[in-house]
């Protein structure tokens, strides 16, 4: 009887309501935005939806090494369990000529209801990104950010990241980037901390 009960609970959990809302306000030189999403999802689904390298106008978008425009990207635990995700983000981008400067902040929580052994997780952070489009199809970017993760059981992470790179569009369906990233985690317990220097090259294609 236990497997049948677990399956039924899982089905009910997956049928929870999906919520998504966003606001956007534009001025002559700026764009202000905010969005909120509440959904039942998995880590695999989130990773599968995050890989992009081109903007809607076919121009290069400055990305970090995880394929995200926002420098902090939510480094919570890896699991194949479904969870209720509540994600809020807000930001502003100023653009004058070929230069754009963006600021963003986010808050995310993940609530596990199927496995009592998994701790609920919380994350929040902020970042800034400067983009210089010095050629029609090429842009440089410089960014930095901070993120705090609370994984329960006295496990916490404070991530600091800096990224520098170039992005280029070769065709409307083909783009790439190369970047350098410095990544530091001041963790608790302290033996989980690390520092990382990474060179990254990426090619993305739409079919």
- Three-class SS state of 200: strand
Q: Per-residue pLDDT tens for 71-114?
A: 444 455 555 677 788 889 999 989 899 898 989 899 988 887 76
Structure tokens at 20: 């998504």
Provide the pLDDT for residue 57. 41
Q: What is the pLDDT of residue 22?
A: 93
The pLDDT score that the predictor gives to residue 80 is: 67
Residues of the chain with pLDDT under 70: 1-17, 43-80, 114-117
Residues sharing a CB contact under 8 Å with residue 62, sequence separation 6 or more, in sequence order: 69, 129, 131, 139, 140, 141, 143, 165, 167
CA atoms 176, 80, 184, 101: torsion sign? positive
pLDDT of residue 44: 65
What pLDDT is attached to residue 73?
45
pLDDT at 47: 55
* 66 within 8 A of 53, measured Cβ to Cβ: no
């Amino acid at each position: 009887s236990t497997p049948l009960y677990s399956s039924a609970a899982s089905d009910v959990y997956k049928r929870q309501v999906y919520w998504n809302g966003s606001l956007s306000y534009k001025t002559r030189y700026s764009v202000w935005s905010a969005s909120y999403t509440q959904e039942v999802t998995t880590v695999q689904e989130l990773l599968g939806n995050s890989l992009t390298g081109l903007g809607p106008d076919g121009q290069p978008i400055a990305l970090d090494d995880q394929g995200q425009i926002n420098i902090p990207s939510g480094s919570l635990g890896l699991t194949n369990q479904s969870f209720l995700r509540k994600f809020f983000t807000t930001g502003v981008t100023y653009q004058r000529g070929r230069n754009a400067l963006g600021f963003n902040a986010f808050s995310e929580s993940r609530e596990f209801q199927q496995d009592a052994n998994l701790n609920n997780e919380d994350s929040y952070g902020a970042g800034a990104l400067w983009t210089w489009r010095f050629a029609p199809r090429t842009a440089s970017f410089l960014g930095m950010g901070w993120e705090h993760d609370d994984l329960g059981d006295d496990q916490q992470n404070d991530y600091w990241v800096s990224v520098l790179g170039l992005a280029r569009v070769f065709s409307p369906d083909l783009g790439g980037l190369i970047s350098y990233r410095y990544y530091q985690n001041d963790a608790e317990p302290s033996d989980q901390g690390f520092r990382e220097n990474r060179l990254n090259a990426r090619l993305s294609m739409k079919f």
